[in-house]
Structure 1
Amino acid sequence: MAQRKLFLGARLKRLRRDRGLQQTAMAGELGISPSYLNHLERNQRPVTAGILLRLAEAFEVDIRQFASEGGEQGGAEQLAEVFSDGMFRDLGISRQEIVELADNSPALAEGVTRLYTALRELHRHPPDAATGGSDPRVLITPETWVRDYIQAQRNHWPELEEGAETLGGALGDALSVAEPLRRRLKEAYGVEVRVAPPEELEQATQVYDPQRRMLLLSSLLRPENKTFGIAYQLALLEFHPILARMVEVARPPDPGSRRLLHMSFANYAAGAIMMPYGKFLAAAERYRYAIDRLCAEFGANVEQVAHRLTTMGRPSARGVPFFMLRVDPAGNISKRYAGENFPFSHFGGTCPRWHLHAAFQTPGQVIRQIIETPDGQRFFTISRTIERPIRPDLRDDSLLAIGLGCEVRHAERIAYADGLDLSGGMATPVGPACAICPRLQCPYRATPPAGRALAVHENRKTISPYPFVPN
């Protein structure tokens, strides 16, 4: 069978732009002519295995990720979601046109995605009439920008991993996780750690006072979250130059995005300090990714371990490439990370046929499932509830749910998959957001599919509330 040709012009352009290189300079690094690079970037020539190997050597690119589908803001999948909106229905935009835009004009494609994101945020947060809508922060929120930036980098940061692994290894303690972190703060930076009542912190979960050199942690935090809070403060101090440089490279568009990205990097570093890469990956493989065993080994909670599992993207030592979502009982998605492919909507919610929300019906239990996307890809997933880090009001619901998943070809490495038929057994058919899902007979469909003619008739009712004419 002939191998699929790789036309990766958009990714080559993005890589070159991110490195600040002209075509001549990048061509020189790859040992090819500028005209040949121009052909590659315009998708007039496929990227060969030799070019991929030179990319890996010259730019430390993970060629498996570089050549894989998805992961880019403004990529074909995200553009398909954008153009599924009803405002474009009369244009009849084909899948081929969307792919050509994503491949041949990546900057333009990203611009379209940003504009659509801004429009959605504007609808969610209408501008204050008193300001006349002049504040640009209402258009693209810091959370949206940071989420997309992190995902574009596959949620893996080698600089932080290297520093955290060195530090975490030096602080290793067989009996305690928090104590060596607390000691490092005190001895290296003169910072004391104290647990304080919530009234003293005025609704904050942790506060660092640089004048007093004091880190205050809320007494309402669970032990694992207190440990993470100490690791977070240590990361801010220990990796200050690295964090500042990473933020500058990212070029956030506004102060809010800058601060949130800085916090996100520090959170990543905190998890890497608590769970150093090599040690964590070895334990994950040894325990076959059993989350509770990893929690016990590293003094972390379920969410911290699940998030860490999505970061195992070191080219020389890759773990199972998981994706992760966190939702509340109302269906709001508050976290979305992927080490590789992500089979769900970027703008909408999750498919109701995925059992993520069923976890709320069986708190504390693991729900496992094999799902299949419309293009035939299969994923193994697990879902379970977790407790919120803090619960100020006992009347509030404390549960959230997380879903972890990976392509089914990795599932045999995971203990939760034991006993399932991974080769060809039953899989639950799922889809992306209903507006772009191509499945005809789905009783769970909530909205009609964009760009499709409805096939409703007063004398015939179907299992799907919105039957449509297939292409």
Structure 2
Amino acid sequence: MAIGKLFIGKSVRELRLSRKWNQAQFAERLGISTSYLNQIESNNRPVSATVLLGLVDKFQLQLSGIAGGEGDRLLSAFSEALSDPLFETVSPTVQDIKLVVQNAPGIAHGLILAHQAYRRSTEQLAGIDQELAKGMTEATPYEEVRDYFHFIDNYVHDLDVAAERLASELGLSEHPLGALKRELQARGIAVRHCVDDGSLRSFDAVSSTLFLNKHSPPQTQQFQMAVQLAQTAFGGAIDAIVGAAGFRTVEASEICKIGLQNYFAGALLMPYCEFADAAASLRHDVELLALQFRTSIEQVCHRLSTLQRPGRKGVPMFFARIDRAGNITKRHSATKLQFARFGAACPVWNVHQAFEAQGRILRQMAETPDGGKYLSLALQVTKRSGGFRGQAITYALAFGCEMSNAEAFVYADDLLETAKPVFEPIGVSCRICERTRCPSRAWPPMKGRIDIDHHQRMTVPYEIR
């Protein structure tokens, strides 16, 4: 999707506030009038090319984040909602949708929530059991928290900085397991190993003892100790973040606390600047990063998707975790590629093939219907607990970037040398995909008429007009 006029008031305002300048001071250094700056920050006027170059040259504004980030995620979700036949008579233009997202994001968020409620109530009327359907006209607590992290760019600044500072104080880079254990003991918490009862971590508040599953790998044990540190030392900060988020239910607040504790643990084990530098120097080789930071590959992939610190952003990436049934259990994208909010992911996407290629990282050059081109990487991960009779959980990880950033990935070297690269056509999900001739289509798009020719049978038993 081509980018027209740039309304980047939020980015400009954050840039000014990060330097603790008022509008007059910032406008003077930028060489524009205070009134013009005020109009830019209020999204009443687009930023000109001259001003944009000044922001990049004088204040190191990152161009990679201007057309991406929250705007693209909100634009994708808003467009998907408006693709519902419910809005067939409205048919807003792309420019209309972009203007709402840029100038009135609150309205876009509100319509998305309303559309979610509409879809759930429609599903209830379609025959969902009455008892199971109670409360489904609102987003579930899990979905509410998922969307919270999605729209804050999967980056929590205060926790990230605090974790980085603590990692430096503890010297985690040498022996993270020992350093974390000593820090917990210094805070009055004993660390013990327990017989496998299915739990990864169990804390006894009475005796101030943290019990870890002795069969868990070191990466899991140190992550759970980091989670315990988040609860013990940063519980107040996490409570403040959750309170400011304004969740509708207690359940959502509690789920978000878990997410923030896990976020802190990842940021502690993989401190921002050190990890970002290593990612760049190792060219995003997730296996080497996992070895260097003594973490799992999933932890590395997840951390790569959080490198969104203002003024120090990493390569914009997408990341998802998918189970064998096609459910997306984790998802985030700092690129223009967005994941479906309803229905399964595109069957042509290489993440589904990862289950057939254990131990290998699959590569795919993919193109979406809007012309976006991506490097998509996928691999299967299996987590085991206990011995032969222990439970094994298998899922696939998908991560990657836009092809314009593919040179930063070791996985793209020979692909970029191809004279005429071949991109596989993928979509977000069948329900909104524009491709009419895809042989892998699972069901018709919500918009589009179906024609059936009883005298001819193609792979898909209907034509889409």
- TM-score normalized by structure 1? 0.83
Equivalent residues of 1:225, 1:389 under 8 A apart:
no
2:74 pairs with 1:75: yes
* Matched-pair contact (CA < 8 Å) for 1:232–1:270: yes
Q: Flag the 1:311–1:39 CA change in 2: closer, same or farther, 3 A.
A: closer
Q: Distance in 2 between matches of 1:129 and 1:466?
A: 34
Cα distance in 1 for partners of 2:56, 2:123 equals: 42
Q: 2:264 and 2:310 mapped to 1: Cα distance? A: 19
Equivalent in the alignment of 2:188: 190
- Matched-pair identity in %: 30
List per-residue Cα deviations over 1:326-381 (Å, max 9, x = no partner): 01111111100223433432333321111101111111211111111112111111
Residue in structure 1 matched with residue 452 of structure 2 by the alignment: 456
2:30 is matched with which residue? none
Matching residue of 1:177? 176
Match of 2:280 in 1: 285
1:251 aligns with 2:250: no
Contact 2:331-2:339 at 8 Å conserved across structures: no
Deviation of 1:392 after TM superposition, in Å, equals 9.3
3-state DSSP of counterpart to 2:463: coil
Q: Give, in angstroms, the shift of residue 412 of structure 1.
A: 1.5
Q: 1:315 to 1:76 in 2, by over 3 A?
A: closer
Shift of 1:167: 1.2
Partner of 1:47: 47
- Where does residue 434 of structure 2 map in the other structure? 438
Give yes or no for contact 1:206–1:218 (8 Å, CA) kept in 2.
yes
Contact 1:30 1:51 survives alignment (8 Å): no
Q: Secondary structure at the match of 1:436?
A: coil
Q: Which runs of 5+ in 2 are unaligned?
A: 28-32
Q: 1:22 — aligned with what?
A: none
2:217 maps to which residue?
A: 222
The one-letter amino acid paired with 2:431 is A
**1:378 and 2:376 aligned:** no
User: 1:48 offset after TM fit, Å?
Assistant: 3.5
Matches within 5 A, 1:277-426: 277-388=272-383, 390=385, 394=389, 397-421=392-416, 424-426=420-422
Q: Secondary structure at the match of 2:399?
A: strand
Contact kept? 1:440, 1:464, Cα under 8 Å:
no
Distance, in Å, in 2 between the alignment partners of 1:12 and 1:418 is: 33
Q: Deviations over 1:58-86 (max 9, x none)?
A: xx996546622453598332122123334
Q: Secondary structure at the match of 1:386?
A: strand
**Aligned AA (1:303):** E
Distance 1:207-1:123 versus aligned 2 partners, 3 A rule: farther
Change (3 A) 1:225 1:35: same
Check conservation: 2:343, 2:431, Cα contact below 8 A: no
Contact 1:455–1:467 (CA<8 Å) still a contact in 2? yes
Secondary structure of the residue aligned to 1:435 is coil
Question: Given the two structures, how large is their TM-score scaled by the length of structure 2?
Answer: 0.84
Whether the 8 Å CA contact 1:380–1:405 is kept in 2: the answer is: yes
Using a 3 Å threshold, how does the CA distance of structure 1 residues 138 and 396 change in structure 2: closer, same or farther? farther
Q: Distance in 2 between matches of 1:439 and 1:144?
A: 28
Structure 1: stretches of 5+ with no match in the other structure: 20-24
Given that residues 60 and 311 in structure 2 are in contact (C-alpha distance below 8 angstroms), is that contact kept between their aligned partners in structure 1?
A: no
Alignment partner, residue 5 of structure 2 = 5
How far apart in 2 are the matches of 1:157 and 1:466?
Answer: 47
Structure 1 range deviating more: 82-91 or 267-276: 82-91
Distance 1:114 1:55 in 2: 35
For 1:301 and 1:125, how far apart are their aligned partners in 2? Answer: 40
C-alpha contact (below 8 Å) 2:142/2:255 kept by paired residues? yes
Tell me if the contact between 1:343 and 1:373 (Cα under 8 Å) persists in the aligned partners.
no
Taking the aligned partners of 1:331 and 1:79, their CA distance within structure 2 comes to 23
> Quick one: distance in 2 between partners of 1:90 and 1:425?
40
* TM-superposition CA deviations, 1:223-273 (whole Å, max 9, x none): 211110001111222223322222222222221111111221111110111
Residue identity in the other structure for 2:322: V
Following superposition, the deviation at residue 419 of structure 1 comes to 1.1
**1:411 and 1:422 in contact (8 A); partners too:** no
Residues 337-346 or 317-326, more deviating: 337-346
Give the RMSD, CA atoms, in angstroms.
3.6
CA shift, 1:452, in A, is 1.8
Q: Give the match's secondary structure for 2:414.
A: coil
Q: How far apart in 2 are the matches of 1:142 and 1:132?
A: 15
Match of residue 235 from structure 2? 240
State the AA in 2 paired with 1:402: L
Return the letter of the residue paired with 2:152.
Q
Distance 1:6 1:73 in 2: 13
CA distance in 2, matches of 1:311, 1:131: 35
Aligned to 1:161: 160
Q: Answer yes or no: is the 8 Å Cα contact 2:189–2:209 preserved in 1.
A: yes
Paired letter, 1:321: P
The alignment of Structure 1 onto Structure 2 pairs a total of residues equal to 451
